[in-house]
Structure 1
């Protein structure tokens, strides 16, 4: 009798997990990828698309997925662990033996008058609105993280006729080292931007009025779908699915999580932020532990870390912050055209890593994480 592994979500984590499973060549293993998206969305390119410097931030799934992956277009609305089934919005039901929860994230709720930038639909709306603005119109980007910084820089450098400002309740790019952050701020000002930090943006009424802007691009924080909570699975205060160190869902032996929608319920892993650099290793490890379970072996503890953070500040400017494994900034950084080239290389490599995994399961590798003070042996896999 065969085994069916269902992956929910066609983003970085989900596609990586599907390729590692399908590429293993395991006899009798069927791999199903269920996603509402018709095409793979390069979310790390959405700021370029919104500004008008990239014609299309999507890629055909067939060019990324292993041929044995069966892709289904559909949105999951409920998981029934006791029955090992997933209900889709169109009424269909998917049965699974193993499940990978990789439904990703979106922008946090935005006030009236703002365009959310974390999904293709919002980026498409922003692209149209920016292109239609007359010279001298004001564009306000809200948020202090890297998505906001990249969106603001790309917009300012592409649309020199517009007046662009960046608004953040906290310091801009707070994860960066002091010197790197200063160089980023200088680059943004050179692009003609106004920087406003330390003052929260009022969310009552139409935010365009409070900011005096014609268009407001909202890049303030992430939120995750409510699927896990609606399915009675354990979630944290932010709605993210709670996982153990092997990426299994707490209290479940057949459900794994990966990417932005999951969080390892251990303070040691607090350094793992919501980003594609964390999603890809998590997707690969979740798939790897499913394969180990099929062999009756114990799952391995997830181990991934960071080495650098690349920031786009336009097509010919950027910054690279070198990091320790736990995402802490070092005193080393690059900026300018060299950093912009490095950023572009990393963006291109992301799809190459996914395609490489489709050609050979296990091809993708990643930097190890910080050393744990003590490492408990993972709980043995049980099969029910």
Structure 2
């Protein structure tokens, strides 16, 4: 019988893991199913571009995975039973514009899928953090549906209307500069809980402030938003900032399904994994990307990012292939090299960092940094369709002769 591998989620990590597994394992020995709610790949790192009206290159999964042996199942995951080794999904036809719609309710059907190995890559969505009014009045760009809703709302704004981006992290910086550049007629502001780019090097901070000044962005530093209304946000100091549109980018929350399982998870619902991205509680489950809590250099948790998720996907796929074929387990430490920030289409910031993600003095800025960031984005998308360089190296699966002993293997 074929070894059944199910990959949940086809973002950067899930899609890369599925493709890499298909190129590592002989298709006669494994059945790889990739479960995703949309029929094409979403470049999440470009959602701020989509929100301001730019069109992105369509990347249909049926073309990306043609002749690879990966079976795409268009469905939403509704439950995972790690004791019975099953996944419950609800499939539905898509409505709306091809490639841009959300799954509708028509023709929905419930189905249970059985697996031998599960790769959990359901990722994350925006985090309202329990702040009153966020869910009702704020926009998010953590996914395509949210970015498209923001796109429609921004297009309806008249000149001079205020837009507020809440959150001074990488997502907030990219969103606020993209909006300000695309719509110089709007009154754009950024509300940051800390100082502007306070995690960057002095050179990086100086460049960031130069860009926000050039684009006319009003920056509210060391400011906490305590509520969001239809026309303003309220701060902890009791003041308010006018906002015809509020964009919420204060962080990400993982998909809640893992918390409802018997998997060992953190208090935020991230699955705890070892160095091979294998669940510490269930050896037939691997977790990658934002959904997993993995550690990097110095024992520090890897941050939620594409920079973390892609090498996590490589690590998990190679570990699964090694365990199934009797090969050598990968032992590669996941580390950071830089943080890439687009600041509109013609400017950027590449902040070089230590292995554990702390800024160093060196930073690349300006147009050259923008080109660098664009190459990174294109490379990430290319990597989804080309999970390893060179020809496929498929190995045969070795039949299991004894039950796995995760504690012994982890110790080894």
For 1:225-283, what per-residue CA distance to the aligned partner results, in whole angstroms no more than 9, with x for missing partners? 11111122111111111111221111211100100111126894425211111111111
**Mapped partners of 1:184, 1:108: distance in 2:** 25
For residue 131 of structure 1, the aligned residue among 152, 155, 170 is: 155
Superposed displacement of residue 189, structure 1: 1.4
Q: Cα gap change, 1:135/1:206 in structure 2, threshold over 3 Å: closer, same or farther? A: closer
RMSD: 2.3
The residue number in structure 1 matching 2:409 is 380
1:90-169 alignment, distance < 5 Å: 90-109=109-128, 110-169=134-193
Give secondary structure in 2 for the equivalent of 1:357. Answer: coil
The residue number in structure 1 matching 2:40 is 39
Report if the CA contact (8 A) 1:246-1:286 is conserved: yes
**Mapped partners of 1:172, 1:254: distance in 2:** 43
The residue number in structure 2 matching 1:369 is none
Is residue 73 of structure 1 aligned with residue 102 of structure 2?
A: no
What's the TM-score, normalizing by structure 2? 0.84
Q: Cα gap change, 1:281/1:117 in structure 2, threshold over 3 Å: closer, same or farther? A: same
**Mapped partners of 1:173, 1:379: distance in 2:** 44
1:275-290 alignment, distance < 5 Å: 275-290=305-320
For 1:124-162, what per-residue CA distance to the aligned partner results, in whole angstroms no more than 9, with x for missing partners? 111111111001010000001010000000000010110
Report if the CA contact (8 A) 1:309-1:321 is conserved: yes
The residue number in structure 2 matching 1:317 is 347
The residue number in structure 1 matching 2:370 is 340
Greater shift, 112-121 or 217-226, is seen at 112-121
The residue number in structure 2 matching 1:9 is 9
For residue 178 of structure 1, the aligned residue among 190, 198, 202 is: 202
Q: Could you tell me which runs of 5 or more consecutive residues in structure 2 were left unpaired when the two chains were aligned.
A: 91-108, 129-133, 235-240, 394-405
For 1:317-367, what per-residue CA distance to the aligned partner results, in whole angstroms no more than 9, with x for missing partners? 11111122211111011111111111111111112222222775789xxxx
For 1:55-87, what per-residue CA distance to the aligned partner results, in whole angstroms no more than 9, with x for missing partners? 136521134336311000111122112221111
For 1:88-136, what per-residue CA distance to the aligned partner results, in whole angstroms no more than 9, with x for missing partners? 1342011111010000111102343111221111111111111110010
For 1:180-222, what per-residue CA distance to the aligned partner results, in whole angstroms no more than 9, with x for missing partners? 0221121111101000110101226557353311001111111
Q: Cα gap change, 1:47/1:379 in structure 2, threshold over 3 Å: closer, same or farther? A: farther
For residue 242 of structure 1, the aligned residue among 272, 275, 297 is: 272
For residue 283 of structure 2, the aligned residue among 242, 247, 253 is: 253
What's the TM-score, normalizing by structure 1? 0.90
**Mapped partners of 2:371, 2:339: distance in 1:** 13
**Mapped partners of 1:225, 1:160: distance in 2:** 36
Aligned residues: 368
**Mapped partners of 2:124, 2:83: distance in 1:** 26
The residue number in structure 2 matching 1:368 is none
Superposed displacement of residue 309, structure 1: 1.5
